[in-house]
Chain A
Amino acid sequence: MRNILDRNQNRANEVRRLLAEEKVLMVNIISSPGAGKTTLLERTLGELNTKFRIGIIEGDITTDRDARRLQKFNIPITLINTEGGCHLDSHSISKVLDTFSLKDLDVIFVENVGNLVCPSQFDLGENFKLAVVSTAEGDDKPAKYPMLFREARAVLLNKVDLIPYTNFRMLNFRKDMEKINRNIPVFELSCTRGDGLGAWFEWISSRITENCNRE
């Protein structure tokens, strides 16, 4: 039996090999549109830019708005316009990888196209996926899109500052996460107000350091 996506898989494996050789960690950030991926990157760069050598791949359907928001950090950013496509694939990543000098990087954050279903199916060659959800989307996202929450290495629940104005119930969210995947950390964040960011910075810093020190 042949895997329908074997072309994507083979290319993803190549990307993974290349990154491993250069000890660059790649993090594939997946969320619905507007959950806060770019804001998370702004906060993360603000904190970690001086500690690690960071590169960004911005997946955007047609614009360069997110890439422009990150320009102030003066780090290598490559934009991939998917021209309507609802996810990034390993071919698009592989094509832009040589815009980076990999030996001068510790980590590449990939902001995938806003969508909870499609990006989860396409391996980019990343070390791990990160699921970002926001409270404004409701507490039922893990239950409705279990695949992402099974495969992610961590969940970032963003916009906790909005909970008082929504029908989001933390208990429901936590219960579903407990059923679907109780082995991964869930960070409760507000990327605008700053809640929970310290724990996130610490966790992601450990992952980057761990990867740099790998034999």
Chain B
Amino acid sequence: MHELSIAEDLSAIVLETALRETLAKVTRVNVSIGQLVQIVPGLFESAFIECVRDTVAGQAELCIEIVPVRMKCRKCGADIGIEDNNFSCSACGSDDLEMINGRELYIKSIEGE
């Protein structure tokens, strides 16, 4: 259900950007969302459509990229993917990891005319 609040914040940024850039129409919104955010893309999309109904972004297409989890090992420097919730380094076994991807909620671009 966090899809709704995230969609609300997203639509606010999209509309504010459209106003600032004097777009007559927003055609496409590209977002990256980390796998750990556990968003349901269909729900997120419906929530977004609801939020931008009857605005300049009313016809915009929302493109959601789900980003898999990646971590950097602080011990050996390896850049590793995380599978099956195994949060330890596949190279050296250390669990001292820094998250690179997997938790993001980013707007990559807003397209319009």
Is B10 touching A4 in the complex (CB atoms < 8 A)? yes
Is B5 touching A87 in the complex (CB atoms < 8 A)? yes
Partner of B106, one of A1, A142, A176: A1
* Interface status of A212 (Cβ within 8 A of chain B): no
B2's nearest neighbour on chain A, judged by CB, is: A118
Which residues of B are interface residues toward A (Cβ below 8 A)?
A: 1-2, 5-6, 9-10, 12-13, 31-32, 36-38, 84-88, 95, 103-108
Which residues of A are interface residues toward B (Cβ below 8 A)?
A: 1-5, 7-8, 85-87, 89, 115, 117-118, 121-122, 142-143, 145-147, 150, 176, 179-183
Partner of A4, one of B31, B87, B88, B103: B31
In angstroms, Cα B5 to Cα A121, docked, is 10
In angstroms, Cα B10 to Cα A176, docked, is 34
Q: Could you list 20 further interchain pairs (A-B, Cβ under 8 angstroms) beyond the known A121-B2, A147-B37, A179-B84?
A: A1-B32, A2-B107, A3-B105, A4-B6, A4-B10, A4-B105, A4-B107, A5-B6, A7-B12, A86-B2, A89-B5, A117-B2, A117-B38, A118-B1, A118-B2, A121-B37, A121-B105, A179-B85, A180-B85, A180-B87
What number of residue pairs across chains A and B have CB atoms under 8 A from each other? 69
Known: A86-B2, A89-B5, A121-B37. A146 touches B106 (CB 8 A): no
Known: A8-B9, A117-B2, A121-B6. A179 touches B87 (CB 8 A): yes
Is B9 touching A122 in the complex (CB atoms < 8 A)? no
Query: From residue A156, how far is it (CB to closest CB) to chain B in Å?
Result: 20
Query: From residue B101, how far is it (CB to closest CB) to chain A in Å?
Result: 12
Is B36 touching A150 in the complex (CB atoms < 8 A)? yes
Is A176 touching B85 in the complex (CB atoms < 8 A)? yes
B1's nearest neighbour on chain A, judged by CB, is: A86
Query: From residue B92, how far is it (CB to closest CB) to chain A in Å?
Result: 15
Known: A89-B5, A118-B2, A182-B95. A3 touches B106 (CB 8 A): yes
Query: From residue A196, how far is it (CB to closest CB) to chain B in Å?
Result: 24
Q: Which residues of A contact B37 (CB under 8 A)?
A: 121, 147
Query: From residue B85, how far is it (CB to closest CB) to chain A in Å?
Result: 5
Can you pick out 22 interface pairs between chain A and chain B where the beta carbons lie within 8 Å of each other? A2-B106, A4-B6, A4-B10, A4-B13, A4-B106, A5-B6, A7-B12, A117-B2, A118-B2, A121-B2, A122-B5, A143-B85, A145-B38, A146-B87, A147-B37, A176-B85, A179-B87, A179-B88, A180-B85, A181-B95, A182-B88, A183-B95
